[in-house]
Amino acid sequence: QKEVEQNSGPLSVPEGAIASLNCTYSDRGSQSFFWYRQYSGKSPELIMFIYSNGDKEDGRFTAQLNKASQYVSLLIRDSQPSDSATYLCAGANNFGNEKLTFGTGTRLTIIP
Partner 1 sequence: GAVVSQHPSRVICKSGTSVKIECRSLDFQATTMFWYRQFPKQSLMLMATSNEGSKATYEQGVEKDKFLINHASLTLSTLTVTSAHPEDSSFYICSAPGTSGGTYEQYFGPGTRLTVT
How remote is the C-alpha of 52 from its chain's centroid?
15
Closest CA to 86 of 68, 100, 107, 101: 107
Asked if 88 touches partner 1 (CB under 8 A), the answer is yes
Residue 104 or 109: which CB sits closer to partner 1?
Answer: 104
Instruction: Tell me whether the omega of the peptide bond preceding residue 10 falls within 30 degrees of 0, making it cis.
Output: yes
How far, rounded to the nearest angstrom, does the alpha carbon of residue 37 sit from its chain's CA centroid? 8
Q: Which is nearer to partner 1, 1 or 82 (CB)?
A: 1
Task: State which of positions 22-81 bind partner 1 (CB under 8 A).
Answer: 34, 41-46, 49
- Report in angstroms how near the CB of residue 42 gets to partner 1 at its nearest: 7
When the beta carbons of 57 and 98 are compared against partner 1, the nearer one is: 98
C-alpha–C-alpha distance, residues 54 and 17, integer Å: 22
Summarize as ranges the residues that interact with partner 1 (CB under 8 A).
Answer: 34, 41-46, 49, 88, 94-105
